[in-house]
Amino acid sequence: MKIAVAKGDGIGPEIMEAVLKIFSASQVPLEYEVVEMGKWVFDKGFSNGMTPEAQHSIESLGILFKGPMETPKGKGVKSVNVTARKTWNTYANNRVFQTLHGVDTVFSKAGIPIDITVVRENIEDTYGGIEHMLTHDVALSRRFITRPGSLQVIKYAFEMARKKNARRITCGHKANIMKITDGLFLECFYEVAKEYPELKSDDVIVDDLCMKLVTRPDNFDVVVLTNLQGDIVSDLCAGLVGGLGFAPSANIGDHICIFEAVHGTAPDIAGKNIANPTALLLSGISMLRHLGFMENAAIIENALLYTLESGIHTGDFGDKSKASVNTTQFAEAIIANFGKQPSMNPKPVLPNMPATPTVFKLEKNSMMVSQEMEAETIIGVDMFIESAEQPTEIARKCQRHAGVKFNLINVSNRGTQVWPTGSVFTNLVNQYNVRFESLDGTPLNQQDIIGLYVSLSGNFKICSLELLNTWGGKKAYSLAQGQ
């Protein structure tokens, strides 16, 4: 089986060489096609951080094993790591955090075992990177949470939890504040949970989740979250087990999967052969199991665990009274320990069952649309306008444009209502949201909205607008704070 390999930037080539050396010694039946990705590819003028040949190879092979990569700063380009995950719809980021004996942490010293799998939605949320300056003082980032995207990652999380015989699966969210976006994600979680009655399913508000993770992490098993929250929580969990140097990462999609180290490129130690390859090796072990190479994966992981238990360490961790080894020596120590069993958490050695690679030749983009169960109606519009005037003056002008179809409901600033009621203690910026709804709830059409836009633009610069929709009579928009 052939896979694509991108060595990465900084310490990437060194740790990739060490991992592939371990794979070779274990006689992993893989071939490698090295592809061009990373900072040096950006520097050659490829704005997405990969050559067209690299993209073609990865899409042909379906598996990418990659080292850490740097995105050039101040050049207006997007992260190659995020671009890769989103381009190939690797919708589930799976990161396993386990106690590693030989890697001392507060919890290992206290005898509290950690085995947490964080599944992070990988495509949506603020990672769409859709941002605009609405005025010279006001920036906007659009946050997309979709039903099909949420169902994709949540179903993956439940299936994975079932396969690992998880005792609990938890949805981390902020639906108490973001009632529509996180509310949709939470709704999808419980919709899927009905199909897995044998799993204990619950939810925790994300800030409470973080507190509980750093006090009793052993209470958690599988946690699924939206993209940004999952990014933060997964790094928090890495800290519980020793840092990003011990955090593997798998990005799972229906057609293409990416296995990578998520730590930095460490340019200050690049080329010195002293980097710790553990995170990339653990990611590689996850890849081997994904591909069906169970025996190779178990032999390598048991050798790694035995090596760590033996006190062999690179300079970034371990007993400082014992001399550290370099990257090459660490890999050689793991190879020398093939066949040995760690005293804690040995992995069962199962026979290899390699999957048959499936070549996907897609003719068009997949469109994910759920069935619309109830009738949609437009009942109003939020107009986001630029102005440094006081709320009463804003309201006076807006009411002149309401005409016979609209009623001005409220005016808000940074999400807080300032008209018809409000407080002079509310600080304002030069961007308001003026909310118009139809008179008596009469359905509107887009032409009505455009007419209001044209009229209102006579007094204000309109930065953006959002339709106020209902489905089955249920409002599909949030209220202002204090409304």
Q: Give the pLDDT confidence score for residue 357 in this predicted structure.
A: 66
163-184 pLDDT per residue, tens: 999 999 999 999 999 999 999 9
**Three-state secondary structure string covering 403-457:** CCCEEEEEEEECCEEEECCCCCCCCCCCEEEEEEEEHHHCCECHHHHHHHHHHHC
Q: Give the pLDDT confidence score for residue 74 in this predicted structure.
A: 60
Q: Give the pLDDT confidence score for residue 435 in this predicted structure.
A: 98
Q: Give the pLDDT confidence score for residue 212 in this predicted structure.
A: 98
Calpha distance 144→126 (Å, rounded): 7
Hey, what domains does the chain have and what are their CATH numbers?
A: 2-336 (3.40.718.10), 376-475 (3.30.70.1570)
422-467 pLDDT per residue, tens: 999 999 999 999 999 999 889 999 999 999 999 999 999 999 999 9
Q: Give the pLDDT confidence score for residue 371 in this predicted structure.
A: 86
Alpha helices for 62-127 (secondary structure H):
80-87, 106-109
Which strands, in side-by-side order, build the sheet including 92-98? 31-34, 2-6, 63-66, 257-261, 248-252, 92-98, 115-121, 222-225, 168-173, 200-205
Q: Give the pLDDT confidence score for residue 441 in this predicted structure.
A: 82
Identify the DSSP state of 316: T
Residues of the chain with pLDDT under 70: 74-77, 357-360
C-alpha dist (Å) from residue 45 to 37, 39, 204, 363, 365: 12, 10, 44, 29, 27
Calpha distance 74→385 (Å, rounded): 30
CA atoms within 13 A on the CB side of 1: 22
Q: Give the pLDDT confidence score for residue 281 in this predicted structure.
A: 98
Calpha distance 124→140 (Å, rounded): 16
123-155 in b/e form (b: 16+ CB < 10 A) is: bbbebeeeeeebbeebeeeebebbeebbbbbbb
Alpha helices for 310-408 (secondary structure H):
327-336, 391-400
Q: Give the pLDDT confidence score for residue 47 in this predicted structure.
A: 83
Q: Give the pLDDT confidence score for residue 202 in this predicted structure.
A: 98
Q: Give the pLDDT confidence score for residue 482 in this predicted structure.
A: 83
